[in-house]
Amino acid sequence: MMFYGNLAAGDSGTAGSPDDGLEASGFTLVETAIDSGIFVGSFQVPATYYDAGSATTVTTTGTDIEVNYNDHRDASGETIEVGDGASVNANTGSVEFDRNVYPVPWGNDTADERFALHATAAESTAWTSSHVATSHSLAQGNVTVHVSVTDADYDVSAFGEDTISDTTVVLKIERGSSSTTVATFGNTANPIYETSPTSGVFEYDASRRI
């Protein structure tokens, strides 16, 4: 049984991953019980495969998987072939916040970007220049945004914890036509991890003082 395209003699182009099919991957069918007569096996569908017809590497999304079994001698002593098929389809992911409204961020390390204790409060020149006098502004604090990404396409490991590593999720703060990028999920500084080995749900907490 073969699914991934092989590089035949005379073919040119770049192979997909893997490029030698299930046979070379060590795929086997194992009987479910000592006398069940039912054999099962599993394999991971790759993102791309080598198409010998076009001599290019193409995506597996939108293609079909077909399996055929040739029984050289059935219960009646006849040779028969049976098969089945399935489609390879991508999932539509979703992004959610843990709340509908977040508090206004408060302050950084400069007085003119922090909230005053009351309407008439003003920082002294001594504080604004040296930051050692008594401050009349609210203390600095972070706003933590909890983001949950659900996408089964990123659940690629059968037993391990996966991550989103292609920077497809970007967290921004927008006001009118202005925007500030807070985090780009998936890069080395902001890994976003799966909640459990097979959940397909990835969570990230972005904590920032604006």
Q: How far is CA 121 from the centre of its chain?
A: 48
Residues of the chain with pLDDT under 50: 1-19
Q: Do 155 and 64 belong to one domain?
A: no
Q: Do 99 and 202 belong to one domain?
A: yes
Per the domain annotation, does 150 fall within a domain?
A: yes
Instruction: Give the list of residues 6+ apart from residue 158 with CB closer than 8 angstroms, or none.
Output: 42, 44, 197, 198
Residues paired with residue 170 on neighbouring β-strands, in sequence order: 184
CA distance 58 to 155: 21
> Given this model, what pLDDT does residue 47 score?
77
pTM above 0.75, yes or no: no
CA distance 182 to 51: 41
Per the domain annotation, does 156 fall within a domain?
A: yes
Q: Do 102 and 204 belong to one domain?
A: yes
> Given this model, what pLDDT does residue 101 score?
85
Q: Do 83 and 102 belong to one domain?
A: no
Q: Do 61 and 99 belong to one domain?
A: no
Work out how many domains the chain is built from and give that number: 2
Exposed, middle or buried: residue 186 (CB in 10 Å: 0-12, 13-18, 19+)? Answer: buried
Per the domain annotation, does 134 fall within a domain?
A: no
Q: Do 99 and 156 belong to one domain?
A: yes
What is the residue range of 201's domain? Answer: 94-106+141-208
Per the domain annotation, does 81 fall within a domain?
A: yes
Q: Do 164 and 79 belong to one domain?
A: no
Q: Do 59 and 98 belong to one domain?
A: no
Q: Do 83 and 145 belong to one domain?
A: no
Q: Do 51 and 101 belong to one domain?
A: no
Per the domain annotation, does 185 fall within a domain?
A: yes
pLDDT in tens, 72-92: 877 788 888 889 999 988 888
Q: Do 99 and 52 belong to one domain?
A: no
Q: Do 61 and 39 belong to one domain?
A: yes
